[in-house]
Structure 1
């Protein structure tokens, strides 16, 4: 039976067939036919954001907290160009989203029509793939393909650009295919010969370490479970990138913490001193590697990644394995068990003794205060008061982001949403909205800096309109904290444009939007204020006034290897006492 329908109706039907229940968007002339169809149905909820960048970040938050594809809907011209930052953010962090954009009618394309932009051309470098659909008969199949491409292989953003006349015209609807689309079938099974060689290397390694990334989380819950089984069975230390937090539990005995520029001392030292590094689902980005020629200089290197272009792109590897993390880990465990579950126990015990010496540095030590709230203390109290709750954390970008990664513990995947590769200020607030839409009964906290938060502050209107109880926990130091830190340490204390001198009253701002505002500046009042935020049943802006010139340590300066870290005064004292390698 043929199903004739308009292009606009096809869009909505295709979303339903793909299991979409939430769309984040902002209407405009070029997408009004689609919005008219959204109005006439109740299965898909549309969340009206206040800016298209917010729509895409909200879709990212939804996707990252659920493992499903997030969806955003924007109009032509400025609607599409406003989505570019979110698309690039999703591409860098491998987040599956589909953005549907309106376009001027096909007969007007190229005429500089009102709100016309070359959306496909503009977004080609910041999507996995994009389409300009000029024939309504192709529209539904292209949308189904978009969902497949977004979620298959290394996940990422895709865009479908839909001219207005294509939305009005009618054609036969193509249902969602029962089998995956044939033309895009990424390799998911790793090469067994290389996997076996890697297992043999694990058996003989004296100083091995697992280096894990967001690819473990993107692979799905099975990958995290298999990773935990492998770590527990072998007894090998494990660290993670910013994007991989939660794949292995923070409470796990083999956990070294995050590595990289602001990673933990023991994690970075282990990466520098290991003899076998097993990269699982990470991409050797520069925040992790530091100076390439001095990165983990004594190790054999394995790299497991579903994206063939990531292998040997930055770091040459001895055991390159292209495949889906879950499939490869499953095969690794089978081979390792079949070969007798062997590791070099004596050498591994010695390695752990070295790791424990590095742990003894206690690199997150800081000098607390009874008169001013230290940002580290604020996050320690947030962790203590919310531990065990059904909690999701998003962040903006800067010092607060790094402190959140250091001081908040994640026991499960998909609980930590942050902008890693692109470092997008303004990401966290709309992302928290997307997370809260997906998990209406959960506690969703956006850890923010006042400067980052102001970039998408207009989304308070969205939070209030949809009664989303998102908590905006702003660590307010009245500075562009990370910029100021770099200027202090690397630019002769010349603080060029890094002090904010015209900040709003965040409590009054919250109240102006119809939300709750809380301010706290005394450490003695912090717990009560945090509980007030947590227990409030609506959106909250918490203005937490913190030490203005606190620096985020450890820190690997640009151009230095992992074993040359800047530490704070208290940390450096510990490191020197423990004879750790440290640049003070």
Structure 2
């Protein structure tokens, strides 16, 4: 056999139908039936049969990452920008456990994903065999559902069910654990596609819940009679359809809109009706509007502690209406007056078709007086480059059209405030779990999914070092990806909390870093360094002048804090606006 030549590992019957020789081949065919064209993974002994089958399949692109956590984050980024289920493939034991953080990240942020894990042969399960862990049990709290394939005849039903579960209702990750002997063993003698109607209806899973007409009418009535209405938008509005409906409704009714971090982009953040992000690091205008509203329509929002602060004092004067596809989120963190279990699209469509309008002239005048500006740049050390400046320059360079993947920390909030997002699926950020190391692999997934769109990873010198090995992945696949590193010499957000709330010395979070620009060159990427605004403008222009992977290192002001900020568990009245 010529090295590298695809091998034919299936037989064709007289009528042209394929008879698959192995369970792994059948798995690949089932992935194709579900529309999967990309798999992010890392091989190992337990999944070698699957990799053999992938080798023979030119229709599925395999992206070889450098760490299993990155495989899942990349599948996550792919899913967030496309709305389709991302697919990750990892081996048993440490491969599977390395994937757990990525699975939990996707679960917390409701990202559709199918994670394929290898497992030791079925006769070795439970014997503490080499590279054996109970990944099925370990991940049950952080997946929508788990499957273990113990009978190859069940594989068509399992794969179809997994994609159905991952992408319907409240999206989320589904795991399929696959013993090696099942994958390398014989497949059924024939296979026909599984119809959607044959997918089992799991007990308690009802993804297509319809909202009763009387509840929709109650929402309409409350908003029509309101004096100070507001819309609070979360990650549940991130689909193209929901975003379009939301924009139409807000403009038709002239209702102000505020967003959670996960909801940024669902409504254009530079729109006159958008007051900014709410919560701990929200704008003064957004938090004031929420606190003073008399009717608050909350769409796809789960009221995490970073949004609500003290739940007892959250929007104390409003009639709160919560709409969520996941019934378990209703009244969980914040008590609401009207809870609707169903799609935000259904509510928005009903309000639009009903011609919702109101007389909110006084409210709109009051809102105009709310300070919308983000605090001005620090005057401490004016000659030093400031992180907000860098993000604004990146925004100007990309004309606001980029997909921006962030890590977690100060840079994440600066990006949320200083890079206006025009459309949904433009900001990829770990909101629920707060996963450092998410940004670069998520950006890789986005670059694979949308090769014609500007992709930017914004990170800090702490976060980027968690998965910096994935630079090699980006270079290997010739991705057009720009990595912006705001280097301030600290784990910045931890330092800020210690300074503001713990009155502690924070030398323990001072962090050293390599020469990122020089390191980028060793990976085969372009590297740039800047420490002044003039240098920053120059390197940004140069980096974007040609496609490919570029790392831009910005030496920024060391001890700058993120503002506004509400203390943990506090409310808008305790906002710290600036130093």
User: Is contact 2:120-2:129 (8 Å) kept?
Assistant: yes
Partner of 2:11: none
Q: Deviations over 1:287-309 (max 9, x none)?
A: 00001111111111000100000
Q: CA deviation at 1:187?
A: 3.1
SS in 2 for 1:110: coil
- Measure the CA separation in 2 of the matches of 1:93 and 1:443: 23
1:198 matched to 2:219? The reply is yes
1:292 matched to 2:311? The reply is yes
Q: 1:181 aligns with which of 187, 199, 209?
A: 199
Q: Deviations over 1:533-583 (max 9, x none)?
A: 2223211111111000000000010121122201114xxxxxxxxxxxxxx
In structure 1, list runs of 5 or more residues that go unmatched: 570-584
Q: CA deviation at 1:253?
A: 1.6
Partner of 2:522: 512
Q: 2:392 aligns with which of 380, 389, 396?
A: 380
User: Is contact 1:467-1:539 (8 Å) kept?
Assistant: yes
User: Is contact 2:254-2:357 (8 Å) kept?
Assistant: no
TM-score, length-scaled by structure 2: 0.94
Partner of 2:236: 215
User: Is contact 2:400-2:420 (8 Å) kept?
Assistant: no
- Measure the CA separation in 2 of the matches of 1:171 and 1:331: 49
Q: 2:470 aligns with which of 445, 453, 459?
A: 459
SS in 1 for 2:510: coil
SS in 1 for 2:164: helix
Q: 1:250 aligns with which of 241, 248, 269?
A: 269
- Measure the CA separation in 1 of the matches of 2:544 and 2:81: 20
User: Is contact 2:400-2:422 (8 Å) kept?
Assistant: no
Partner of 2:481: 470
User: Is contact 2:252-2:357 (8 Å) kept?
Assistant: no
- Measure the CA separation in 2 of the matches of 1:155 and 1:120: 19
SS in 1 for 2:435: coil
TM-score, length-scaled by structure 1: 0.93
Q: Deviations over 1:92-122 (max 9, x none)?
A: 0000010000000111100111100001001
SS in 1 for 2:544: helix
Partner of 1:100: 116
Partner of 1:321: 340
In structure 2, list runs of 5 or more residues that go unmatched: 1-14
Q: CA deviation at 1:174?
A: 4.8
Partner of 1:25: 41
Q: 1:564 aligns with which of 568, 571, 574?
A: 574
SS in 2 for 1:232: helix
Partner of 2:550: 540
Q: CA deviation at 1:189?
A: 2.2
Alignment of 1:407-422 (within 5 A): 407-422=418-433
1:357 matched to 2:357? The reply is no
User: Is contact 1:14-1:176 (8 Å) kept?
Assistant: no
Q: Deviations over 1:315-347 (max 9, x none)?
A: 12112111112122212322x32xxx441x1xx
Partner of 1:427: 438
Deviates more, 1:63-72 or 1:491-500: 491-500
Partner of 2:162: 146
User: Is contact 1:435-1:444 (8 Å) kept?
Assistant: yes
User: Is contact 2:46-2:180 (8 Å) kept?
Assistant: yes
- Measure the CA separation in 2 of the matches of 1:260 and 1:486: 16
- Measure the CA separation in 1 of the matches of 2:26 and 2:104: 27
Partner of 1:577: none
- Measure the CA separation in 2 of the matches of 1:44 and 1:273: 52
Deviates more, 1:304-313 or 1:530-539: 530-539
Partner of 1:572: none
Q: Which runs of 4+ in 1 moved over 6 A?
A: none
CA gap 1:284/1:168 in 2 versus in 1, 3 angstroms? same
User: Is contact 1:278-1:302 (8 Å) kept?
Assistant: yes
SS in 2 for 1:535: coil
User: Is contact 1:555-1:565 (8 Å) kept?
Assistant: yes
SS in 2 for 1:282: coil
The alignment covers a number of residue pairs equal to: 557
Alignment of 1:67-106 (within 5 A): 67-106=83-122
